[in-house]
Chains A and B, each alone.
Chain A
Amino acid sequence: MTLDAILLASSEAASEIPVVHPVAAEGVFTWLWLIIALPLAGAAVLLLGGAVAKGALDKVGHWIGTASAAGSFVLSLILFIALLGRGEEERQIGQHLFTWFQVGGLDVGMDLLYDPLSALFLLLITGVGSLIHVYSIGYMEHDDRRRRFFGYLNLFVAAMLVLVLGANYLVVFLGWEGVGLASYLLIGFWQHKHSAAAAAKKAFVINRVGDIGLSLAIALMFTTFGTTDFAAISEQASGASQATLNALGLLLLLGACGKSAQVPLQAWLLDAMEGPTPVSALIHAATMVTAGVYLVVRSNFIYELTPVAQTVVVIVATVTLLWGAILGCAKDDIKKALAGSTMSQIGYMMLAAGLGVAGYPFAIFHLLTHGFFKANMFLGAGSVMHGMNDDVDMRHYGGLRNYMPVTFLTFAMGYLAIIGFPGFSGFFSKDKIIETALAENWIIGLCALLGAGITGFYMTRLMLMTFFGDTSRWDKDAHPHESPHVMTVPLIVLAALSVLGGVLLLGDFVVEFLAPVTGVAEHHEPPLPAIVITLMVVAVVAIGVAAAWFLVGKREIPRVAPTEVSFATRAARADLYGDAINEGVVVAPGRALVSGLTSFDRVGVDGVVEGGSLGVGAVSGALRRVQNGFVRSYALSLLGGALLVVLALLAVNLA
């Protein structure tokens, strides 16, 4: 049933997969490269300029970083408006910057592609990115390495922009690795903390596994199509064999799983919360972790042809959305609870992306709204930590709504958005995904519905533990206070976006805007009328919220997490044994393999090599003695050689 339904859906859509055919950039669009160049220049100035003018840069560095991101945002906005003014068939704009490299038959240009999909991403990355830059000015005020922090942030923004603007997979890969690097640097920014350094390393290593998938996919594309350009591949994809397409889809998914923390490569995301909070908001909520979703949607011309890979995407996404939600229920660390929620929400996006043409616009829609409300909540959490002496344990919070009114109110907007309270942005985006899922397959749809209920539970728990109740659980020396304006203004802007993000769906704007990229879906009647589904979602979320109220809000919250808990709670606290699984399935066998190989190398290979070299050495010593220094012997050997040559000639020819 599962496969059949999706097979059916894709075979209908297969006839109208849009082909990427960019027109050359002109007018304002020739400034496309500048969007990347601005933050890149900012990073260069901040990271390299320190050697020249350290004192001055330390004073104004954060303003340079913020200005370059904001400049990028303004440009993105101008281009977006210009794009809206164009006809639908002209909304794919390509810009060739230079030939990156040319090896044999592989000709890779530094090409950019600006289309509705990347336009939305540009707005999200530069818009939310600029707000987070502003917020960081306050958050990192007392860090004496603030200039470097802004340099890394700019570097990240530039890499992320390369990722979403690349017109071929290799440029995307460049950005992909760039964000990986920036993320590594930012997670480990407080590298004096051992846990931060370890988390950075873990994120890096797990992402490498995903990167293998992406790089193999690129290699396979080159051998199959002889190019890595979106345009050429989208034209030729239908000509490739089914096995190749399946492999491509699965390899790309592996890459997406690494970047987007999808099961089974999810283990790094919770640890990555060791980084400064703005980093968690920017990289691990709003932008980088959504790169996997971008990759799948961008590669729609491949996924539409491979139902097998699409099915795997849907399964992975469903598992992840439940997995992340369960983790979110058990974490006491406010950032880790939010990280679990992020995993779960990306699961929703992946699910939508895996559902094909009908899902792509909603994947991107949810991605945008999630970018707003999750960044909002992460920054809110940062504000809370800022006031609570950097304590992250929610069991030490309580009743903060009276002490941090702005933070509380903005956080509440994000909260209402994520649980899908009617009218808020998350309501529209999640509702659409669940609706589409139910229309395609009811089992997946029910899982998504269940996830929505759990979301209601853990987010309510987080709200209750942090902002409600009394203040008895505080640390002795806690003096919570509202954060400075430079931090609260971004919160207010993001809160407004969390509330209003849903307007993007007005008149099906997102769906129609993205149609040139994703194609137009066949309409599937959901098994139930849309209004019934919406009511069901609201009801399930209400159950989740109520459960949290009765289990958390009505009871006394112990200051220390109780250890006498059910197996389920223990499992969730241990990240559902994600690390144990990695340890058992990958690390331990790997270690055994390595030790086996080492001993084989020592005994077998070294034996052969050393024996061989001993033998060669002995022969060498013997031959050396022939070189005795007497000309008469040399002359004799010359004569012998002459005989050898002549005899060899005669033997070959006269025998």
Chain B
Amino acid sequence: MTDFVKPTIDYFELFPLLVVFGAACLGVVVEAFAPRAVRYGAQVLLSLGGLAAATVSVVLIARDSEVYADGAARGILAVGGTIAVDGPTLFLWGLILVLSVAGVLLFAERHLDGGVSAFSGQAAALPGSEAEREASTRGLDHTEVYPLLMFAVFGMLLFPAANDLLTMFVALEILSLPLYLLCGLARRRRLLSQEAALKYFLLGAFSSGFFLYGAALVYGYAGSMDFADINESVRNDAGNSALLLIGMGLLTVGLLFKVGAAPFQAWTPDVYQGAPTPVTAFMSAGTKVAAFGALMRLFYVAFGADRWSWQPMLWVIAILSMLLGAIVAITQSDVKRMLAYSSVAHTGFILTGVLGVQATGDLAVGEVSSLQSVLFYLATYGLVVLGAFAVVSLVRDSGGEVTSLDRWAGLGKESPVVAGVFAFFLLAMAGIPLTSGFVGKIAVFSVALAAGAWPVVVVGILASIIAAFFYIRVIKAMYFDEPVGDGPSVVYPSVLTATAIAFAVAATLMLGVLPGPLLDLAGLAGQFLR
């Protein structure tokens, strides 16, 4: 038996993870010991402080990270090679932290619903019961959502950095469990919310099972959980390749479930609709970013030598996601469900970028690498979708948010600014020039074309056209249709939500007009460290 070697911990490089985790744990302590009156303020400050500290340290790490392999990759493998703090990781960390800050701002919004947050007063009380009414009259709030959010952020940060299958699985669970819980905490329409949470949990657990089984099979093939070792085995073609392929497939299922690709998208509309809108906003942006980071690390690092075997499978998934997302979105009558299907379509677009992978040597000078295009797309999409859901939370009537598209008719007359901002986000999702979505689509399509995946690109363009139809239909409804009956009113948010939305608008416009700096930054991230 070999001696146990204590792994060295690279505290500096892991600081963002540690500080977020620490803030989450502190949040639990605050919840246990601080009086109710100060909890809200303390939790918000703690979360924002933790995220800010993590963001600063990401910048510092990025500045100091060592460069390897002629500038192709940078960073280090920490904790005995289980966590890779490399260029792409740092880019995604930065992005996730920015999205999380916006998420905290949305969580902390208490202006929209008469002084209470969007979360249930007392989650344990049965819907419609006396206890619920009492909690609501006392103006109770679940401030536990902030530690939960921070735990989810910790999982999201760990997910794309995980450099072996076990760490990846642990990260997947850390990221998912708080989200299952958050989904069930809506203040309004609680039954719908709880149903969504339960569905998400059941299906998520099911897909985790696939992932775990896949991990076991791949271990059986390679004799190691470590991505570098798996890569070595794949390269040497050692072992039973059926074992590898089935394992690879099952791992893929787990990850594709998280990003919401077809045919694993079934949970998205129900969960997006049922979850409290701030949670939907945070989750739809953050989970997608983290899961795509993990997906790319798994495929590029562990299975990179075998890309001919998985690329066709991703072709099929990408085409299915784009078409299904775009087509089904057309007949949706609920704005959150429509955005959910649109997110499925966008998953397809991002996958188009993922499968555009090619050896670095094949890239001409100035050509965008596949990783670069996906990172850019994730940044643009994350901000747009977060902003769009944030706007959805502003359109309300006495019963809470109004998500039925029929009742959004004529919103442009009620509030030209809010309708205009939403229209801008929709145009960005549709990929209209001068928005970030256009540049993102161009980037992923061009890398896919360079890799010869033109059928996927053709379908992608077709799906973009179909998608543009339903985005523009909403714009038409807001601006050109007469309001039906008592239309919803737009509640003007506090500075928290307003900041999040303004930031998303500014970034979307900026990245549409001047995409250069961020594209360069994504390019600077380089390749995954093996």
Taking the complex as formed, is A506 at the interface, i.e. its CB lies under 8 A from any CB of chain B? no
**Chain B residues near A623 (CB-CB < 8 A):** 324, 327-328
The complex places the Cα of A111 from the Cα of B332 at a distance, in Å, of: 56
The complex places the Cα of A623 from the Cα of B466 at a distance, in Å, of: 15
> A617 with B331: in contact, given A634-B199, A638-B266, A642-B253 (CB under 8 Å)?
yes
Taking the complex as formed, is B495 at the interface, i.e. its CB lies under 8 A from any CB of chain A? no
Taking the complex as formed, is B282 at the interface, i.e. its CB lies under 8 A from any CB of chain A? no
- Segment of A389-397, A438-446, A576-584, A643-651 engaged in the interface with chain B: A643-651
**Chain A residues near B324 (CB-CB < 8 A):** 623
**Interface size of B as a range:** 35 or more
Nearest A residue (CB) for B313: A648
- Segment of A417-425, A486-494, A588-596, A624-632 engaged in the interface with chain B: A624-632
Q: Tell whether, in the assembled complex, residue A620 and residue B328 are in contact, meaning their CB atoms are under 8 Å apart.
A: yes
The complex places the Cα of A640 from the Cα of B242 at a distance, in Å, of: 19
Q: Tell whether, in the assembled complex, residue B203 and residue A617 are in contact, meaning their CB atoms are under 8 Å apart.
A: no
**Chain A residues near B269 (CB-CB < 8 A):** 627
Contact with A along B194-215 (1 / 0, CB 8 A): 0000110011001100100000
The complex places the Cα of A127 from the Cα of B246 at a distance, in Å, of: 86
The complex places the Cα of A301 from the Cα of B200 at a distance, in Å, of: 73
Taking the complex as formed, is B252 at the interface, i.e. its CB lies under 8 A from any CB of chain A? yes
Nearest A residue (CB) for B200: A631
**Chain B residues near A613 (CB-CB < 8 A):** 469
**Chain B residues near A654 (CB-CB < 8 A):** 241-242, 245
Q: Tell whether, in the assembled complex, residue B245 and residue A646 are in contact, meaning their CB atoms are under 8 Å apart.
A: yes
**Chain B residues near A637 (CB-CB < 8 A):** 263-264, 266
Q: Tell whether, in the assembled complex, residue B249 and residue A638 are in contact, meaning their CB atoms are under 8 Å apart.
A: no
Q: Tell whether, in the assembled complex, residue A642 and residue B249 are in contact, meaning their CB atoms are under 8 Å apart.
A: yes
**Chain A residues near B417 (CB-CB < 8 A):** none
> A645 with B330: in contact, given A640-B263, A650-B245 (CB under 8 Å)?
no
> A652 with B328: in contact, given A629-B270, A638-B203 (CB under 8 Å)?
no
Which of A624, A635, A652 contacts B313, CB < 8 Å? A652
A contact residues, total (Cβ < 8 Å): 28
Q: Tell whether, in the assembled complex, residue A644 and residue B316 are in contact, meaning their CB atoms are under 8 Å apart.
A: yes
Q: Tell whether, in the assembled complex, residue A645 and residue B331 are in contact, meaning their CB atoms are under 8 Å apart.
A: no
Taking the complex as formed, is A566 at the interface, i.e. its CB lies under 8 A from any CB of chain B? no
Q: Tell whether, in the assembled complex, residue A617 and residue B249 are in contact, meaning their CB atoms are under 8 Å apart.
A: no
Q: Tell whether, in the assembled complex, residue B249 and residue A646 are in contact, meaning their CB atoms are under 8 Å apart.
A: yes
The complex places the Cα of A623 from the Cα of B266 at a distance, in Å, of: 11
Contact with A along B443-462 (1 / 0, CB 8 A): 00000000000000000000
Taking the complex as formed, is B290 at the interface, i.e. its CB lies under 8 A from any CB of chain A? no
Taking the complex as formed, is B317 at the interface, i.e. its CB lies under 8 A from any CB of chain A? yes
Q: Tell whether, in the assembled complex, residue A638 and residue B199 are in contact, meaning their CB atoms are under 8 Å apart.
A: no
Taking the complex as formed, is A653 at the interface, i.e. its CB lies under 8 A from any CB of chain B? yes
**Chain B residues near A653 (CB-CB < 8 A):** 241, 245, 309
Q: Tell whether, in the assembled complex, residue A645 and residue B317 are in contact, meaning their CB atoms are under 8 Å apart.
A: yes
> A641 with B313: in contact, given A616-B466, A617-B330, A623-B328 (CB under 8 Å)?
no
Taking the complex as formed, is B292 at the interface, i.e. its CB lies under 8 A from any CB of chain A? no
Which of A627, A646, A652 contacts B266, CB < 8 Å? A627
Taking the nearest CB of chain B, how far is it from the CB of A93, in angstroms?
Answer: 35
Taking the complex as formed, is A619 at the interface, i.e. its CB lies under 8 A from any CB of chain B? yes
Which of A621, A627, A635, A645 contacts B203, CB < 8 Å? A635
Contact with A along B401-414 (1 / 0, CB 8 A): 00000000000000
Nearest A residue (CB) for B249: A646
Taking the complex as formed, is B267 at the interface, i.e. its CB lies under 8 A from any CB of chain A? yes
Which of B245, B264, B327, B469 contacts A619, CB < 8 Å? B327
Taking the complex as formed, is B257 at the interface, i.e. its CB lies under 8 A from any CB of chain A? yes
Residues of B260-277 contacting chain A, CB below 8 A = 262-264, 266-267, 269-270
Taking the nearest CB of chain A, how far is it from the CB of B344, in angstroms?
Answer: 11
The complex places the Cα of A648 from the Cα of B328 at a distance, in Å, of: 24
Taking the complex as formed, is B433 at the interface, i.e. its CB lies under 8 A from any CB of chain A? no
> A649 with B203: in contact, given A629-B270, A641-B263 (CB under 8 Å)?
no
Residues of B211-267 contacting chain A, CB below 8 A = 241-242, 245-246, 248-250, 252-253, 256-257, 262-264, 266-267
The complex places the Cα of A613 from the Cα of B270 at a distance, in Å, of: 26
**Chain A residues near B256 (CB-CB < 8 A):** 641, 645
**Chain B residues near A633 (CB-CB < 8 A):** 266
Taking the nearest CB of chain A, how far is it from the CB of B491, in angstroms?
Answer: 30
Residues of B306-342 contacting chain A, CB below 8 A = 308-310, 312-313, 316-317, 324, 327-332
Taking the nearest CB of chain A, how far is it from the CB of B312, in angstroms?
Answer: 5
Which of B210, B266, B312 contacts A648, CB < 8 Å? B312
> A649 with B466: in contact, given A627-B269, A631-B203, A641-B264 (CB under 8 Å)?
no
The complex places the Cα of A616 from the Cα of B328 at a distance, in Å, of: 9
**Chain B residues near A645 (CB-CB < 8 A):** 249, 252-253, 256, 313, 317
Which of A624, A634, A648 contacts B267, CB < 8 Å? A634
The complex places the Cα of A644 from the Cα of B202 at a distance, in Å, of: 21
Contact with B along A349-391 (1 / 0, CB 8 A): 0000000000000000000000000000000000000000000
The complex places the Cα of A217 from the Cα of B282 at a distance, in Å, of: 52
Residues of B291-312 contacting chain A, CB below 8 A = 308-310, 312
Taking the nearest CB of chain B, how far is it from the CB of A655, in angstroms?
Answer: 11
The complex places the Cα of A620 from the Cα of B324 at a distance, in Å, of: 8
Taking the nearest CB of chain B, how far is it from the CB of A409, in angstroms?
Answer: 61
Residues of B409-424 contacting chain A, CB below 8 A = none
The complex places the Cα of A631 from the Cα of B267 at a distance, in Å, of: 8
**Chain A residues near B252 (CB-CB < 8 A):** 645
Q: Tell whether, in the assembled complex, residue A646 and residue B327 are in contact, meaning their CB atoms are under 8 Å apart.
A: no
The complex places the Cα of A419 from the Cα of B519 at a distance, in Å, of: 67
Nearest B residue (CB) for A654: B242
**Chain A residues near B250 (CB-CB < 8 A):** 642, 646
Which of A629, A631, A650 contacts B242, CB < 8 Å? A650
The complex places the Cα of A624 from the Cα of B329 at a distance, in Å, of: 9
> A624 with B328: in contact, given A635-B202, A641-B264, A642-B250 (CB under 8 Å)?
yes
**Chain A residues near B245 (CB-CB < 8 A):** 646, 649-650, 653-654
Residues of B344-384 contacting chain A, CB below 8 A = none
Nearest A residue (CB) for B317: A645
The complex places the Cα of A418 from the Cα of B151 at a distance, in Å, of: 90
**Chain A residues near B263 (CB-CB < 8 A):** 637-638, 640-641, 644
**Chain B residues near A624 (CB-CB < 8 A):** 328, 331-332
The complex places the Cα of A604 from the Cα of B241 at a distance, in Å, of: 53
Taking the nearest CB of chain B, how far is it from the CB of A587, in angstroms?
Answer: 33
**Chain B residues near A649 (CB-CB < 8 A):** 245-246, 248-249, 309-310, 313
Nearest B residue (CB) for A636: B266
The complex places the Cα of A620 from the Cα of B312 at a distance, in Å, of: 26
Nearest A residue (CB) for B311: A652
Taking the nearest CB of chain A, how far is it from the CB of B323, in angstroms?
Answer: 9
Which of A616, A631, A638, A640 contacts B330, CB < 8 Å? A616
The complex places the Cα of A635 from the Cα of B270 at a distance, in Å, of: 14
**Chain A residues near B264 (CB-CB < 8 A):** 637-638, 641
The complex places the Cα of A654 from the Cα of B240 at a distance, in Å, of: 12
Contact with A along B107-149 (1 / 0, CB 8 A): 0000000000000000000000000000000000000000000
The complex places the Cα of A623 from the Cα of B341 at a distance, in Å, of: 12
Nearest B residue (CB) for A615: B327
**Chain B residues near A652 (CB-CB < 8 A):** 308-309, 312-313
Taking the nearest CB of chain B, how far is it from the CB of A40, in angstroms?
Answer: 27
Q: List 15 A-B contacts (CB under 8 A).
A: A616-B469, A623-B324, A637-B266, A638-B203, A638-B207, A638-B257, A642-B253, A644-B316, A648-B312, A648-B313, A649-B249, A649-B309, A653-B241, A654-B242, A654-B245
Residues of A within 8 A of B (CB): 613, 616-617, 619-621, 623-624, 627, 629, 631, 633-635, 637-638, 640-642, 644-646, 648-650, 652-654
- Not counting A631-B199, A644-B316, A645-B249, a sample of 17 additional A-B residue pairs whose C-beta atoms are within 8 angstroms of each other reads A616-B330, A620-B329, A627-B266, A631-B198, A633-B266, A634-B266, A634-B267, A635-B203, A638-B203, A641-B253, A641-B264, A645-B256, A648-B249, A649-B246, A649-B248, A649-B249, A652-B313
Q: Which 9 A-B pairs have the closest CB atoms?
A: A646-B249, A641-B263, A634-B266, A648-B313, A620-B331, A620-B330, A642-B253, A649-B245, A645-B249
